[in-house]
Amino acid sequence: MTATRIDGKAFAARLRERVGEAALSFAQKAGRKPGLAVVLVGEDPASQVYVRNKGKATLAANMESFEHRLPADTSEADLLALVETLNADPAVDGILVQLPLPSHLDEQSVIASISPDKDVDGFHVINAGRLSVGQSGFVPCTPLGCMMLLTDQLGDLSGLEAVVIGRSNIVGKPMAQLLLDANATVTIAHSRTRDLKSVVSRADVVVAAVGRPEMIGKDWLKPGATVIDVGINRLPPEPGAGKGRLVGDVAFGEASEVAGAITPVPGGVGPMTIAVLLRNTAIAAHRNEGLDPPEGL
Ligand code: NAP
């Protein structure tokens, strides 16, 4: 068997197009574009690339991008003051503080200071609580993107056995909640799980969010399983090569021999994250103006 390759890049491009159209129609009704503010503290090179890409994607989706770059030694009081200003700014619908923050800043306090209605990353405890009790709020972008790919691939997930490997607040836990809401039977596995391989091998749906290169081989998978690989790991470079290859938590080549469908790395879950961030921002803009977000976002 050769698995269907789930093309997250193409799905994300279509989603971004729909978001762009929603942003245009929003602007006609509201007299302004949806706005996303991104705050970057310090000079972490990976974060700088993410912030630049988010800015470009925001503009390409017919939205306003507000970038705030602060020095690495910014005090927590100054950062919280900026978030307060953005909370009060009617041109800003979504606020994203790029993580990780420098170690002298408390991430939880900073996230808690963002208005839950502008928390398009879905990291605020209010939004985590809303997801947990089934109220509408903002769902973290990566797991929501995974869920969109799963629904597109499988349709109804009712009764399927799903195993999520990883229990972080930004991926594993919200992913498990979304699968539960879709009526899957959900197991959350983590570093203390006993006999992980046998737990994974009974799953119809596997979501791997661990951060260990190619940990999951073909002998872990139930034949026909749908595999969503969230992991992004860079292998050490080959001799003479500049950068090592990017791989997921699943050994893509061999897993494709057993799985029914699988996301590649790169080109699977990764592109979904920014697309869902833009989608959440478009929805925030509609809610902030008392408008109904368009169907199908
Ligand atoms: P994280 O906070 O480090 O969480 C990793 C989880 O994996 C933890 O729950 C940990 O268990 C579990 N784990 C670690 N080693 C394990 C093992 N040997 N067996 C079973 N479970 C194990 O990471 P994260 O932020 O959730 O991210 C996970 C991966 O997804 C990373 O590779 C990250 O780069 C990637 N990611 C990708 C995107 C995207 O846009 N595609 C977005 C976010 C993250 P414990 O809780 O017991 O420690």
CATH number at residue 164: 3.40.50.720
**In this structure, are 146 and 243 located in the same domain?**
yes
Residue 14: which of 266, 227, 279 has the closest Cα? 279
Q: Using CA positions, which residue lies closest to atom 42 of ligand 1?
A: 142
Residue 228: which of 193, 262, 197 has the closest Cα? 262
Which residues pair with residue 66 across a beta bridge?
Answer: 37
Pocket test for ligand 1, best of 49, 146, 171 (most atoms within 8 A of CB): 171
Instruction: Classify the phi-psi angles of 62: left when phi > 0, otherwise alpha if psi is within -120 to 50, otherwise beta.
Output: left
**Per the domain annotation, does 130 fall within a domain?**
no
CA of 209 to the centre of ligand 1 (A): 4
**pLDDT for res 209:** 98
Angstrom distance (rounded) from CA 237 to CA 242: 6
**In this structure, are 149 and 266 located in the same domain?**
yes
Q: Which pair of structure tokens corresponds to residue 152?
A: 């597109």
Residue where the block lists tokens 């003479």: 240
Angstrom distance (rounded) from CA 102 to CA 171: 21
**In this structure, are 147 and 251 located in the same domain?**
yes
**Per the domain annotation, does 135 fall within a domain?**
no
CA of 161 to the centre of ligand 1 (A): 20
Mean pLDDT, 10 residues at a time, over the chain (297 residues)? 95 98 98 98 94 97 98 98 98 98 98 98 98 97 98 98 98 98 98 98 98 98 98 93 93 98 98 98 97 92
**pLDDT for res 1:** 72
Buried-exposed string 71-105: b where 16+ CB fall within 10 A, e elsewhere: eeebeeeebbebbeebeeeeebbbbbbbeebeeeb
Q: Which atom of ligand 1 is nearest to the CA of 192?
A: 47
Using DSSP, state whether 264 is helix, strand or coil: coil
How many residues does this entry show for the chain? 297
Q: Using CA positions, which residue lies closest to atom 1 of ligand 1?
A: 168
CATH number of the domain enclosing 67: 3.40.50.10860
Contact by Cβ (8 Å): 3, 262: yes
Rg of the chain in Å (alpha carbons) = 19
Q: Which atom of ligand 1 is nearest to the CA of 193?
A: 20
**In this structure, are 258 and 179 located in the same domain?**
yes
**In this structure, are 88 and 151 located in the same domain?**
no
**Per the domain annotation, does 72 fall within a domain?**
yes
**In this structure, are 146 and 235 located in the same domain?**
yes
**In this structure, are 148 and 265 located in the same domain?**
yes
CA of 244 to the centre of ligand 1 (A): 20
**Per the domain annotation, does 68 fall within a domain?**
yes
Buried-exposed string 205-232: b where 16+ CB fall within 10 A, e elsewhere: bbbbbbeebbbbeeebbbeebbbbbbbb
Catalytic residue among 117, 121, 229, 249: 121
Residues touching ligand 1 (Cβ under 6 Å) are 142, 165-168, 170-172, 189-193, 196, 209-212, 230-233, 269-270, 273
**Per the domain annotation, does 253 fall within a domain?**
yes
**Per the domain annotation, does 125 fall within a domain?**
no
Contact by Cβ (8 Å): 119, 107: no
CA of 140 to the centre of ligand 1 (A): 15
**In this structure, are 88 and 181 located in the same domain?**
no
**Per the domain annotation, does 23 fall within a domain?**
no
| DSSP structural state of residue 205 | E
**In this structure, are 106 and 145 located in the same domain?**
no
Q: Which amino acid is at 203?
A: A
Angstrom distance (rounded) from CA 125 to CA 119: 10
Q: Using CA positions, which residue lies closest to atom 16 of ligand 1?
A: 191
Is 78 part of the annotated catalytic residue set?
no
**Per the domain annotation, does 17 fall within a domain?**
no
Is 119 part of the annotated catalytic residue set?
no
Is 54 part of the annotated catalytic residue set?
yes
Angstrom distance (rounded) from CA 34 to CA 47: 23
**In this structure, are 53 and 151 located in the same domain?**
no
Angstrom distance (rounded) from CA 261 to CA 3: 5
Q: Which atom of ligand 1 is nearest to the CA of 233?
A: 32
Q: How far is CA 17 from the centre of its chain?
A: 18
0.75 surpassed by pTM: yes
| Dihedral angle sign, alpha carbons of residues 216, 220, 223, 225 | negative
Residue 227 belongs to what domain range? 141-270
- Structurally, the chain folds into a number of domains equal to 2
CA of 190 to the centre of ligand 1 (A): 9
Q: How far apart are the first and last CA of the chain?
A: 33
**In this structure, are 150 and 252 located in the same domain?**
yes
Cβ contacts of 220 within 8 Å, gap of 6 or more: 197, 200, 201
Angstrom distance (rounded) from CA 230 to CA 207: 7
**In this structure, are 65 and 171 located in the same domain?**
no
